[in-house]
Amino acid sequence: MTDRRAGITRLRNVAPALRSLSDDELLAGLDRALDLWRAPGGYAERAARDLALHRGQSETMLRFGLDRLLAAHSLVALTSWLADARAEAGRIRALRHAQSPPPEFDRFRGPLVVAQVLAGNVAALAVPAGIEALLARSAVLLKPAEGDPSTPAFFKESLDRAAPALGEAVAVERWKGGDTAVEAEVFGAVDFVMASGDRSTLDSLSRRIEGSRSFRGPRVSIGMVGMDWMHAPAEWWGEVAREIALWDQE
């Protein structure tokens, strides 16, 4: 058994403890970890600095984007996210099993162990991807992208410090994308695979992954503005440029 498969086995062993956590325990642990990102000199600052060096992008812009990401993952937002996800899962279940008793929302759980193959063009994607899995009470293996090698480890480290029970349910594993031997081993050992990437990456994965999976591929963005742009002040153009850069994850 390789170290990777042993790591997935460890995730599978700790998953029941994760699934037994109350909503309050789970949400409080995530919020404590995210506080370590928000704090002066915290993980957001470290991540922005590391990404700027690795990708040759603006540290100031990266920090701005990370601050926006963290603001969108406040305790209130996470609580609402969890409630909305359960309501949607309940609606789907009711449609598929109309004769079954109504579901107990607080008992919904995701797959036991999931793997998240992260895209490199989305700064700190490990944070929302990891949170998404943990909210579903799924232990998660994060595969860093070449364009963002550090933030998955930062995310796990923040959990280990602020919420060890959640940190135990997260693993970070590196391998070269397209290594069929490694990916066959990893994907065959988990219960669900989520992947973000370009079309060639997802086409390659789709031919090799059997069972449950969710892929997020390339997209085209279109923006529309009214004729007021003809008289817009310079500040307006700055705001537009910033929003486009954020939307395109630059």
- By residue count, the chain amounts to 250
pLDDT tens string, the chain, 250 residues long: the values are: 468 888 899 999 999 999 999 999 999 999 999 999 999 999 999 999 999 988 888 898 889 889 989 999 999 999 998 888 888 877 877 787 777 776 666 677 888 999 998 887 778 889 999 999 999 999 999 999 888 889 999 999 999 999 999 999 999 998 887 778 888 888 888 998 887 767 777 776 776 676 666 666 666 667 777 887 888 888 888 888 877 777 665 6
Strands 213-216 and 192-196: parallel
> How high is the pLDDT of residue 193?
87
Residues in CB range of 55: below 8 A, 6 or more apart: 147, 148
Q: What distances in angstroms separate CA 124 from CA 4, 14, 75, 85, 90, one per listed residue?
A: 23, 25, 19, 22, 30
Nearest to 212, CA basis, from 114, 83, 140: 114
**Interatomic CA distance for residues 141 and 193, integer angstroms:** 10
Q: How far apart are the first and last CA of the chain?
A: 40
- Using alpha carbons only, what angle is made at residue 43 by residues 79 and 30, rounded to the nearest 5 degrees? 20
When the candidates are 2.60.40.10, 3.40.50.300, 3.40.605.10, 3.30.360.10, the CATH number that belongs to 3-220 is: 3.40.605.10
Q: Are 157 and 79 in contact (CB under 8 A)?
A: no
Specify the pLDDT at position 1.
45
User: Residue 240 has what pLDDT?
Assistant: 82
CA separation for the pair 192, 140 (Å, rounded): 10
How many alpha carbons fall within 13 Å on the CB side of residue 193?
Answer: 22
* Domain chopping of the chain, boundaries: 3-220
Contacts of 108 (CB under 8 A, 6+ apart): 86, 89, 90, 136
Picking from 128, 125, 146, 144, the residue whose alpha carbon sits closest to that of residue 136 is: 128
Q: Helix or strand or coil: residue 114? A: strand
